[in-house]
A and B are shown apart, each in its own frame.
Chain A
């Protein structure tokens, strides 16, 4: 088994413009997803929008704290799931089921803690 992270890249403007009903529908879809794939899910959460982000960088001058996200893009990371799967095909089957009405998801293998080197 291996760990995978599903990152949601969300169009925040589209979320902001969504109706109450659309948002509730999306949340229900996530609850349904969570129930269906409970056996594989190891964690996950939504995030507040990127306007709440604070960046922390280590610089020669010390630690610099700035407001906002690191890169200005239209889509931002809006949440994540951590899951466990036997291989990429199994992880993809789950990732395809992640509700993502205003963006897309990115699937990344988790680098196991101890010995592995990043490939």
Chain B
């Protein structure tokens, strides 16, 4: 295969899958059929582009082909179709012919698709799985691998979610203004979860799963493009950019984990940092600040410190105080405790951590034990530090993190 065609196709898969699928689902009003048509369009592109060259607008080309294929299938299966529950939503009742005629001016339906995939009536696991599959074009096998379940389990989860969308009539539309803030929050949670799962894989040999972090960044960009005025969206995009900017420095050449203190800051992605910081500044102007904007602001404080010892921990602790007010989560409290320890010394950090010891949500969370270990080590309480690191080691499942904890233990 022509390398240029292969590259163009891979790029179109990354960039355009969600756009093509969203536009095709409007015609098919059935997600399975839409997926089939989009897959078919990508397969056709492989031969067509090799013969007549890569089109100027690959997304538009793929959309036209997928929608034409959808039309053919609908005409052939009209009787079967009458027996299936179809996607519900405004403007979907006009016949497919009318839609095809307007193919020159295909509306961007990605927002509809995002809000349908991230509907609160679907389980959080299903929301994430549908988003990765329908908007990012990840295969069921890839989604299954990312979330540590078997492919059969993931396939069943996706099938069930699609059936619920059709049968319960989860609408294919952008929610009205009154519901929008709450619904956007749900979407942001999904995209954030995709990012964090890729940023530090819950288990396995490698620290990061780049396919997930890249998809999350892409999704956040699409959301920001479609909802430019939403401070939460801008905040999440900023948070992803500022965190992702450190991707090359989080492990050393030997694959070993490098903490923030030991990372080579010259290797941080300055373009992503610059973009992230300007987004944070705009997002923080909104009152009250969104939680993702605050998290991004914290990441920005790290990004702005040229050396670790220049980090403004007092500012970070202050930001965590505000964050904890609008988002009282034990994980936020844990990070605040760590910031307090950095700002006011290890004993202050340890005291704040010990207040969280009874939090049931943190019971299996290895970062709590690891943070205690770190502060105990700095206080020269070697025996207690050893216990804490051992506990963290029992709970951590990512191999890179485990190696780090083992090294810390052996250095005590």
Q: A interface vs B, CB < 8 Å?
A: 2, 86-89, 91-92, 107-109, 111, 115-119
Contact = CB atoms under 8 A, between A and B. Distances in A.
Contacts of B163: 119
| 10 nearest A-B pairs in the assembled complex, by CB-CB distance | A87-B171, A119-B163, A119-B167, A87-B169, A87-B88, A109-B168, A115-B83, A88-B170, A88-B168, A88-B169
B83 A116 contact: yes
A67 B170 CA distance: 39
A39 to B, nearest CB: 18
Interface in B157-188: 163-164, 166-171, 175, 179
B121 A116 contact: no
Interface of B: 82-85, 88-89, 119, 121, 163-164, 166-171, 175, 179
B160 to A, nearest CB: 9
Contact of B85 (A91, A92, A107, A119): A119
Nearest to B165: A88
Contact of B169 (A2, A111, A117): A2
Contacts of B166: 119
B82 A87 contact: no
Q: Which of B85, B119, B171 has the most CB of A within 10 A?
A: B85
A89 B88 CA distance: 11
Dominant secondary structure of chain B at its interface with chain A? loop
Nearest to B176: A89
Contacts of A107: 168
Contacts of A87: 88-89, 169-171
Contacts of B88: 2, 86-87
Contacts of A116: 83-85
Contacts of B171: 86-89
A78 to B, nearest CB: 22
Contacts of B167: 109, 111, 118-119
A89 B175 contact: yes
A107 B167 CA distance: 12
5 contacts: A2-B169, A88-B168, A92-B121, A119-B85, A119-B164
B82 A115 contact: yes
Nearest to A86: B88
A70 to B, nearest CB: 24
Contacts of A117: 83-84
B157 to A, nearest CB: 15
Contacts of B121: 88, 92
B169 A109 contact: yes
A105 B82 CA distance: 31
Nearest to A114: B83
Contacts of B179: 89
Given A87-B88, A87-B169, A116-B85, 12 more contacts: A88-B121, A88-B168, A88-B170, A88-B171, A91-B169, A107-B168, A109-B167, A109-B169, A115-B82, A116-B83, A117-B83, A119-B167
A87 B121 CA distance: 12
Q: Which of A91, A115, A118, A119 has the most CB of B within 10 A?
A: A119
B121 to A, nearest CB: 6
B93 to A, nearest CB: 11
A115 B82 CA distance: 8
Contacts of B82: 115
A22 B79 CA distance: 53
A86 B121 CA distance: 16
A92 B182 CA distance: 14
Nearest to A115: B83
A102 to B, nearest CB: 24
A92 B85 CA distance: 19
Q: Which of B84, B89, B167 has the most CB of A within 10 A?
A: B167
Nearest to B183: A89
A92 B171 CA distance: 12
A111 to B, nearest CB: 8
A2 B168 CA distance: 9
A89 B119 CA distance: 9
Nearest to B175: A89
B86 to A, nearest CB: 11
Q: Which of B82, B166, B168, B179 has the most CB of A within 10 A?
A: B168
Nearest to A89: B171
Nearest to B172: A87
B17 to A, nearest CB: 25
